Every structure is written in structure tokens, then in C-alpha cells.
Structure 1
Amino acid sequence: MLILIAGLPGTGKTTIARAFAKLSGAVHLNSDVMRKELGLLGHYSQEDKKRVYDALLEQTEMALKKGKTVVVDSTFYQQSIRAPFEILAYANEVPLKWVEIKASERILQERLSKPRPDSEADFAVYEKIRSQFEALPGEHLVLDSELETPESAAHKILQYLV
């Protein structure tokens, strides 16, 4: 199974994805960590973004081929970024589930003003991505990270998958 966790910067995607991976035993992949591993911190050209997502896609495919459940967290802010993961799930005949994480702008401003271990995104990045964010189509789980602990969100994701 492939679970894709989407949302704007600062919503808590990574924290929730980590909690879910711990609860479920899923492999957790993250775009910010991948960017760091590729030596692309501070590099956000279209080509650099493509390198990050291509590497995520490759690692996702390797884990799926081993029969693992994979959770990938990233903004997934445009359909052009989402489509390769959807195609990968289809090609590997694994179920695909989308989860969207939200939070109020007030909370996001507060969170993004503090340093975070893996992400460089600040409020200006949030505003840019928000202006380009394409709504997730179809049925998906929406969680508000202000109302959920990471653990309760992870349990809700698990319930959503069955």
C-alpha cells in the first residue's frame, strides 16, 4: 500500500507520517530529508525539485517491490507532482490513499517562525506554495493537526486504510 501525505509547509505532515510509520511499521520517506540527502538544501529550481521527487519515487518503488507499505510526506502541491506516484501505485497494483494535513494560518505562522530539523520552509515559502496548491481530487482523509496529536492522527489514518 502507498499512503501519500500532502499539505502546506508547517502543517505537521512529517510529524504525523513518522507517528504513522512507527504505529504501522510502514517505510517513511520525506521530501525534505531526500533534498538534504541529495545535497540540494536551498535549491528549489524545477530541475532540483524533479531530482528530489524522482529520488523519492525510486525509493518508493523499491520498497513497494519488497512488499512494504510506504508513507511519503511532501507538499504534493500540484497534480504534476502527484501523478507519477499515482502511476507507480497503479503499475505495481498497490492501493493508494491520500491524506491531507491542515492547520490554521495563525498556527502555521508560529510553527514556520521556528527552526525545524529537516525543512527550510518559512512563511514566505508557505505563502508561495499556498498560492500554487491544487486541491486534492477525489476521496481522501483530511486531518487538522491543531485538533490531533500525532498519535491520534496516526490511528485515524490506520482506521481510514481498512
Structure 2
Amino acid sequence: MNAEENNGPSLLLIRGLPGSGKSTLARRLCQADDHFHIEADMFMTDAKGRYRFSATKLGKVHARCEQETRQHLQAGHHVIVANTFSQIWEMQPYLDMAKTLGIPVQIIECQGQFKSIHDVPEHSIRDMHNRWEKLPKP
């Protein structure tokens, strides 16, 4: 279903720890409907397309994620952004973007416990868990 058939664009944010099923859920939702799937990990690849995490690129990667999200939303598309979003401020640019554009936003929190496809070290996952912020009650 395209945005025109569903009253315009929409934004879905999928959050969760590494290995919680964010990417898998986003891919499955995109297979079921005509959505654009964007996540920071997509922009952490080398010339051969292999995932290569780089802490020094995080700011640039997240800025690109936000830029591509805005472009797709302004073009009238449904967009799914799947990132860890362990703290609320990390989602805020997307929430502000949706508000400015008058676009509905939904948030899904994945809580599965699978193996991280990017081999994130356990201590990093534990650090993310320790700083996890719950969503405010509506």
C-alpha cells in the first residue's frame, strides 16, 4: 500500500537492544507493505558492503538516517526507522520531524533476545540496557 492509498506518509520507529529483532521486524513489515526501511547500520558498510562499525562515524551516520527519512516522508512515503534508540533524546529528531511535517508516528519496542547480527559485544549491550529509558505513558 502506498502513502496515497493510506492518507499520506507515516513514520514508524522501531527501538530495541541489539539482537532484539528490530531489523527483522522492519524487513518483514516492508515486505508486507510499500515502506522505506532506514537504519544507521545500513550506512556502516565498507566498499564491499560488509558491516564495519565505527564510533567516529556515528554522528554522520545518524544525520544521514535523519536526512533520508525526511526526504522519503516529504515525498509521501511510509518510513520505518529501526535503531537502538536507548534514550528518548535519540528519537527526538524523528518525533520533531513528524510533528513539523504533520505526519503520524508510531513507536514499537522490540524485546526479543536473539544473537546480534553485528556481533555487538555483551558489555556494550549491557551498557545500552543500563541507560535504557522507558517511553513516557501517553
Same fold (TM over 0.5): yes
Matches within 5 A, 1:121-140: 121-139=120-138
Whether 1:3 and 2:2 are equivalent positions in the alignment is no
Give the number of equivalent residue pairs.
Answer: 127
Aligned residue identity for 1:35: M
- Does the 8 Å contact 1:20/1:26 carry over to 2? yes
Q: Is the 8 A contact 1:57 1:85 kept in 2?
A: yes
- 1:125-157 deviations in whole A, cap 9, x for unaligned? 211111111112235xxxxxxxxxxxxxxxxxx
2:42 is the alignment partner of 1:42: no
Corresponding residue number in structure 1 for 2:64:
55
Alignment root-mean-square deviation, CA = 2.1
1:48-107: CA deviation from partner (whole Å, max 9, x where unpaired) = 32212111000000000110000010001112211101000011110010000002xxx4
Identity, % of aligned positions? 24
Shift of 1:36: 2.3
Distance 1:6 1:129 in 2: 12
Can you give the 5+ residue segments of structure 1 that lack an aligned partner in the other structure? 140-162
SS across alignment from 1:22? helix
Say whether the 8 Å CA contact 1:4–1:73 is kept in structure 2: yes
The Cα of 1:17 is off from its aligned counterpart by 0.5
CA contact (8 A) 1:5 1:100 kept: yes
- Structure 2: gaps (5+ residues): 1-9
Q: Which has the higher helix share?
A: 1
Distance 1:12 1:26, change over 3 A: same
Other structure's SS at 2:43 match: helix
Q: Which amino acid aligns with 1:128?
A: D
Q: Give the Cα–Cα distance (whole angstroms) in 1 for the partners of residues 85 and 46 of structure 2.
A: 19
TM-score (norm 2): 0.82
How far, CA to CA, are the matches of 1:94 and 1:21 in structure 2? Answer: 19
Give the equivalent residue in structure 2 for 1:149. Answer: none
Q: Give 1:16 deviation, angstroms.
A: 0.6
Structure 1 length-normalised TM: 0.71
8 Å contact kept, 1:3–1:70 = yes
Q: Distance in 1 between matches of 2:70 and 2:46?
A: 18
